[in-house]
Structure 1
Amino acid sequence: MAVVLIGALLIVVGVVYMAGAALGRGRLSDPEPVRTAPDRPTPKLATPGPTLEPRRRGLGFLGLSQNWPGLLMMAVGVILLLSVVVL
């Protein structure tokens, strides 16, 4: 029973960690990312001003380099849950 609870807790903590990491990278309504080089052009937006809907949305927030701790916690949680089912 404890293995199931630890596995479920790891999955939830992994999801919360990844959400917190995405929110911690800067304001979501800011059209320009916080860490951009000065020579990069500003993105073309569908509407003028700060918005959550840029014309082209990059998938940089899904990158493995930023989210590996959360993904690792979720993978260990899934392995723990599957080990209970198999054994």
Structure 2
Amino acid sequence: MAVVLIGALLIVAGVVYMAGAALWRGRLSDPAPARAAPDRSTPNLATPGPTLEPRRRGVGFLGLSQNWPGLLMMAVGFILLLSVVVL
């Protein structure tokens, strides 16, 4: 039973690590600098200009070199879960 719990925890920890690593690498969006004249006030809009969608991030954050600790945790957890099923 302990092997199953450790395996499940390692899989969850690997997923959380990879999600956290992707978020810690940089900003999700690059807000545009304010181009309004200093004497003019900017309107209060319900949805400000920049969104949370990255402009030029690509899928480089999914690379193996950045995510190997999370992938390793998930692989060890998967092996532990499989070892319980096989034995």
The question of a shared fold, defined as TM-score above 0.5 by the shorter chain, is answered with yes
- 2:12–2:74 CA contact under 8 A, matched in 1: yes
Aligned to 2:64: 64
Is the deviation greater in 14-23 or in 52-61? 52-61
**Where does structure 1 differ by over 4 angstroms across 4 or more consecutive aligned residues?**
54-57
Q: How far apart are the structure 1 equivalents of 2:78 and 2:3?
A: 11
- Encode CA deviations 1:54-84: one digit per residue, 9 max, x unaligned: 5776110110000000000000000000000
**In structure 2, distance between residues paired with 1:69 and 1:24:** 15
Percent identity between the aligned chains?
Answer: 94
Q: 1:7-86 maps to which residues of 2 (within 5 A)? A: 7-30=7-30, 50-53=50-53, 58-86=58-86
Q: TM-score, normalised by structure 2?
A: 0.71
- What 5-or-longer segments of structure 1 have no aligned partner? 32-48
Task: Letter of the 1:51 partner, please give it.
Answer: T
Give, in whole Å, the separation in 1 of the partners of 2:73 and 2:11.
6
Kindly indicate whether structure 1 or structure 2 has the higher relative contact order, using CA contacts under 8 Å at least 6 residues apart: 2
The root-mean-square deviation of aligned C-alpha atoms, in Å, is 1.9
Larger Rg: 2
1 CA distance for matches of 2:27 and 2:64? 21
TM-score with structure 1 setting the length: 0.71
Question: Which AA in structure 2 matches 1:3?
Answer: V
Q: Distance in 1 between matches of 2:28 and 2:78?
A: 30
